[in-house]
C-alpha cells in the first residue's frame, strides 16, 4: 500500500462523515426548535473549544497534513464559519483540496522531513510517518471525535456508524 493510500482516504472518510453529522445536527435543531448557534457553540466542557472550531481544526489538520507531507504550500483558511451550511462548505472545500493530491506527491513522504509549527512559536521536524502517527492523525481524529461527542452529548441521534461514515 502506498503512503498516499494510507493517509488521504482516511482523511476523506472522516471529513465526509463530519458533513453528515452536521446535516443531522441541523435537522435536529430544526425538529427541536433549537437555535443553530446553540449547537455550533456547544462544548463538552467549558475549557474546550466549541463544535464549530472542532470542525475547522479537523479540516486544518487534514489539509495541512497533506500539504506538509507532499511539501506543498500549506493552505491558510480563516475561521469565519458561523452556520451548519458554512461548515459543510468548508468540509467540502477541504475534500476537494485533498482530492487534488496524487499518489506520486506522497512517494517517499513516509521518510521525508516534515517541519511544522509546535508550541510557543517553535517548529518541530519529524519524518513523514512519525508526523502522521504522532501529530496529524491524532489531532485530526481528536477534533473529529470531539465534534461527534458534542453532538451526541447534546442529544443528536448519532452513533459510531455515523462517525465512521457508514450509516
Every domain of the chain and the residues it spans: 8-164
Residue 90, classified by CB atoms within 10 Å of its CB into exposed (0-12), middle (13-18) or buried (19+), is buried
Give the whole-number percent of the chain exceeding pLDDT 90.
95
CATH code at 8-164: 1.20.120.450
**Model confidence over 89-131: pLDDT tens digits?**
999 999 999 999 999 999 999 999 999 999 888 999 999 999 9
DSSP string for 10-61 = HHHHHHHHHHHHHHHHHHHHHHHT--HHHHHT--SSTTSPPHHHHHHHHHHH
SS3 content of the chain, % helix, strand, coil (to 5): 60, 5, 35
Amino acid at each position: 500500500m502506498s503512503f498516499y493510500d494510507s493517509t488521504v482516504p482516511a482523511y476523506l472518510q472522516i471529513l465526509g462523515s463530519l458533513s453528515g453529522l452536521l446535516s443531522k445536527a441541523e435537522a435536529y435543531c430544526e425538529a427541536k426548535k433549537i437555535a443553530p448557534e446553540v449547537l455550533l457553540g456547544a462544548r463538552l466542557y467549558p475549557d474546550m473549544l466549541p463544535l464549530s472550531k472542532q470542525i475547522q481544526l479537523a479540516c486544518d489538520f487534514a489539509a495541512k497534513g497533506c500539504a506538509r507531507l507532499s511539501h506543498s504550500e500549506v493552505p491558510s483558511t480563516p475561521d469565519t464559519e458561523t452556520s451548519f451550511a458554512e461548515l459543510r462548505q468548508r468540509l467540502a472545500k477541504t475534500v476537494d483540496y485533498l482530492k487534488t493530491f496524487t499518489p506520486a506527491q506522497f512517494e517517499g513522504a513516509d521518510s521525508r522531513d516534515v517541519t511544522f509549527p509546535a508550541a510557543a512559536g517553535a517548529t518541530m521536524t519529524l519524518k513523514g510517518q512519525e508526523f502522521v502517527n504522532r501529530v496529524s492523525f491524532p489531532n485530526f481524529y481528536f477534533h473529529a471525535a470531539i465534534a461527534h461527542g458534542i453532538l451526541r452529548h447534546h442529544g443528536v441521534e448519532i452513533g459510531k456508524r455515523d462517525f465512521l461514515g457508514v450509516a
